[in-house]
Amino acid sequence: MRDSRYFIFLFFLMDFNIGLAMSTGPKMISAKIEAPQEVVVKFSQPIPRLSVTDISIDQGIAVVDLVLEKEICRIRTSPFDVQKNYRIAIRGIGERELQPDGILNGFYSDKPLGCHFENGATVFRVFAPRATRVEMELFEKPEHASGKRWEMSRDPDGVWELRLPGQYSGKWYGYRIHGPKGEGEMFNPSHCVADPYAVAMATQNLYLHPAKAYIPNLDSFDWENDTWICPTPEDLIIYELHVRDMTAHPSSGVTPEKRGKYLGLIEEGKVGGIDYIASLGVNAVELLPVHEFANIEIDYKNPQLPIYNDWNPYARNHWGYMTSGFFAPESYYASDGNLEPNRWSGTQARGISEFKALVKAFHRRGIAVILDVVYNHVSHYDLNPFKYIDKKYYFRLDDNQAFLSTSGCGNDFKTERPMARRLIVESVLYWMKEYHIDGFRFDLAAMLDEETLEAITQKARALNPNVILIAEPWGGGKYGQEPFSRLGWCAWNDRFRNAVKGQNPFTDTGFIFGRLQGNNTVQSMRNYILGDLKAHGGPFYTAGHSVNYLECHDDHTLGDFIRLALGIVQKDTVIQDRDRHAQLSIPEMRLHRLGALFLLTSQGVVMLHEGQEFGRSKVIAMTEAPDPHVGKIDGNSYNKDNETNWLNYLHAEMNRELVDYYRGLIALRKKYRMFRWAKPEDIAFLPTGSPFCIAFRLCIDRPEKEEGIVVLNGDPKCSCTINLPSGQWFICVNAERAGATPIHRGVQDRVTVPPTSGLVLIKG
C-alpha cells in the first residue's frame, strides 16, 4: 500500500499544474466599447474558440454575436448607455470593466459652448456626454466658496445647457459634474470646476488651482483699425520671449507695479520691454504660453499629499506649459494678478483688455505676435476641468484606464476626439479673431493627430491666409519636420542648431567650435545654408519652412553652452560674481558672432531667444527655495520666477558689442532680399581649402540685382583666404562689426578671414 504522502503530493502537483495553466492562459488586455452595440476585446494571445454563451455583460446588455480574429474578439450587443459603466466576464478567462472608447466619438455638437448672451438670456453650455447630472454654480465674486446653483439639461449630443433670463456680466461661474462610478473615473461634484471655454479665469494660488470662469461684458476694446500683420515666413525674424522675464528685473526700468506684466512689456521709454525689442529690428515676437496655466505645482516634500514632489523645490511652473484654459489669458501677468499664497488672482478679469493692448502695441511697431500654445496635454496636479468633466473622453488612456504620459507631462490630450478637435480649432480661431494673433507655435506638435492638424490649417487659413503656423516637430516618441512642411507649416529645425552650435557642450559641439560630428559634413552644412531642403536630403519643401535657431527656452542658453564648452565654467561651478561671469571674453564673443552670422545669413526663418543677443547666462539665484544648486548654471529653468530667468539689462549693456552685432546683422538681412529669398540656384559655394571654412556667393535679380559673399570660418586656429570674383566689393560684416552699410570699400581679388570669425561682402 502506497504512502498517503504520495496522494498528497499528486494532489499538490495537479493543483499546481491547474494554477500554472491559468496563469499562462489567455488574459484580457483590454475591453472597449467601440460603438453603441459593439465591444472589442484584446487578449494576450490568440483565442482558438469562444461562444456567445461564454460571455456576459452586466446591467442587462445582451450578447448577440461575436467574431474572433486571432487575439481580437469583436462582440455585437444590445445598445449601451454611455452614462453607465459596465463589466464584461468571459468564462475561463476573467472579467474587467468595459472602457468607453470609440463609442464616444459618435457624440458631436455644433452648438456654441461656454457662456453667451443670446436673445435676452445668458446661456451656459458644456459638453459632457457621460455626465449623469450637471449643476451650474453662479458666484458674485470668485473668492466666494459657494454660490447659487441651477440644474442643467442634457441634449442627445451630450451638451448640457442652462438659460437664465437677463445679463450676468461681471459674475463668475463653474460646473459641478456628476457621473458614473467605476475604475479610473474622476467625476467629483464636490469640486466646482471652471468652464473649458471660459474667456477669463480667476484662480486661487494653491497647487489645486481652483478656478472660476468669468462672464464677460460686451466687448468695448478700441482696436483703432488694428489687424493682423503676418510677415511671410522667409521674412520672419522671431524673438522668443517670456512675458514676465522681459521686465521683472529692476534693470528693465519699468514702473514697479507693471514689472512682469502685460502692461510692463509695452511700457514705452524704458530700458527693457517693447522699446528694447523693437530696437533689435525683429519683426515678430513669440510669447511663451499665455493661456491660463497652473503656476503652482504640488508642495515640495510634503508626505501628506497624493504625489510626493522631490524634484521641484520651487513648486512652481514658470514657463507656462501646463494649460488650464485654452481661451483665457494668464491672469498672473495682468494688473490684477498675483501669486501670493492662497489669494485669488485675476479677480477683475483685466487680462482680457490688457493682453489686447499688448498685441495692439506690438502691431503699431510693425511686430507680429505669435503664441506658443500647448494642446498636447493639460495641467497636471490641479483641478483641470477636462479631468472632472470626462477623463475618458478627453485623454489618451492605457488599458487600465490610467493617463498616458508620452508627453512627459502626466497626461496626453486626446486630440483625435471630435469635440476635443473642435475645441482646439476654436481656440486657435478665437485668439485670431478676439486678440488679432498673427500666428502660433504648437508645443510637441507631433502629438496632435493628423486630422486635427489639417483642420487647424484649413480653418485658420480660411480666416487669415497668411497666418503663421509653426510646429515643434517632436513629442510622444515621434520626430520629423517633413509632415509639417507638407502641410505648409514651418517647423523648428534642431538639425540646424545641432550642426552649427552642437548638441552637448561637453561631448558634441558644432561648426563654430571647428567640429563636424555625427551626420554633419561639409555638404550638410551647405544644405543648412540653403534651407535644409528636401531636394538636398533635408525635410523641408521650401526654405521658408525651416525655423533656424541656436537657442530657445529649453536647455542651456547659447551663452552658457559656449561657457561650458570652452571650460570657462564647469557644470558644478558655483558662481560667486554674477556680473563678472556675465561679461563675455574675447573667445566667447568670437563664437557668438560667428554663430549669429551663420544664423542670419542662412535661408529660412530666423528665431532668437530673449537675451541671446548679449550672451545671457542663467545662474540659479538665491531664493527661499531649498535648492542645493544655487549659483550653478541652469539648463532647465522652467520652475524659477526669479533672477535666474529675468533679463538683466545691465548685462546687455555690459555686452553691448554683441547686441550691436545682432542689430547689424538683422538690418543687413532686412535690407538685402538675397539673405532671405535666394533659391539654391542663386547660391554658389566657393572653394576654401578647409572643411571648417564655408564661403558662398549669392546673386539674385528679384526685384533688383543683389550680389554678396559670405565667409564663415569655424576653424579655431587657421585663417582662411578666399579669392573673390572680379569686381569691386565692400565689407559690411567682419569679426568685430556688422551692419547694412560699408565698413571698407574697394575690396577686390582676395580676402583673409581670421579664425572663428566671418565676413560679408556686397558687390557695388
- Catalytic positions: 443, 472
Q: Give the helix/strand (H/E) hosting 424.
A: helix 418-435
The amino acid present at 112, given as its one-letter code, is P
Give 725's DSSP letter. Answer: P
Do 468 and 489 form a contact (C-beta atoms < 8 A)? no
Bin 435: left if φ > 0, else alpha if -120 < ψ < 50, else beta: alpha
Residues whose CB falls within 8 Å of the CB of residue 167, separated by 6 or more in sequence, listed in order: 117, 122
Rounded CA gap, 40 and 96, in Å?
Answer: 13
In the numeric block, the cell 448672451 is attached to 117
Strands (E), 423-530: 439-442, 468-471, 474-475, 478-479, 490-493, 502-504, 508-509
Q: Which amino acid is at 134?
A: V
Backbone phi, psi, residue 592, to 5°: -60, -45
Assigned C-alpha cell, 572: 558644478
In Å, the largest CA–CA distance within the chain is: 118
In sequence order, the β-bridge partners of residue 292 are 325
42: β partners: 30, 72
Q: Is 669 left (phi over 0), alpha (psi -120 to 50) or beta?
A: alpha
Indicate the helix (H) or strand (E) that contains 734. Answer: none
Residue 646 DSSP class: S
Distance, CA of 635 to CA of 551 (rounded, Å): 12
DSSP string, 522-588: HHHHHHHHHT-BGGGTSSBSSGGGEEEES--SSSS-HHHHHHHHHTSS-TTPPPS-HHHHHSPPHHH
Three-class secondary structure of residue 600 per DSSP:
helix
Identify any residues that bridge with 700 across adjacent strands, giving them in sequence order: 706
